[in-house]
Amino acid sequence: MPVVYRCKVCGFILDVFVKVGQNSRGVLTPSELISQYGGMCPRCGHRLEPPTLSDIIVKPNGAEELLAVIEEARQTMGIQFRSIQPLLEELRLAVARTQTPTTLATQKHGPGLALSEA
């Protein structure tokens, strides 16, 4: 299951761990991540603190959301995710297969009146 660390205040992605073997360090603990950033969010300057139980969100089978997070991390953090390219291609194909015409219309034209499961 992927692990995404975000700032509580601005939502900036601090770290993304998608799968075992992605890198040599593995999943960072909250304490390691906080010290890596000097205790401050690089975007908003908010003091980083370890997450509480209410801060942790578990979302099963979120391939579409995972792809969005990875694309956001690529843009904001400059992460290339070369080691997991095959996995990303699989996710893109899986998301493309599961999207219905209603979902695609909603993504292109905004929410409007179309209903979708996103």
How does pLDDT run across 20-60, given as a tens digit for each residue?
766 777 888 999 999 999 999 999 999 999 999 988 888 77
- Buried b or exposed e, range 57-94, using 16+ CB within 10 angstroms: eeeeeeebebeebbebbeeeeeeebeebeebbeebeee
62 within a domain of the structure (yes/no) = yes
56 within a domain of the structure (yes/no) = yes
81 within a domain of the structure (yes/no) = yes
The residue range of the domain holding 23 is: 3-100
Interval 56-75 mean pLDDT: 77
Neighbours of 105 (CB within 10 A): 13
pLDDT averaged over every residue in the chain? 76
| DSSP bridge pairs for 5 | 15
51 within a domain of the structure (yes/no) = yes
Is residue 4 scored above 70 in pLDDT?
Answer: yes
71 within a domain of the structure (yes/no) = yes
Cβ contact 46:6 at 8 Å: no
Q: Environment class of residue 18 by beta-carbon count within 10 Å: exposed (0-12), middle (13-18) or buried (19+)?
A: buried
Is residue 110 scored above 60 in pLDDT?
Answer: no
| Least confident range of 6-10, 54-58, 72-76 | 72-76
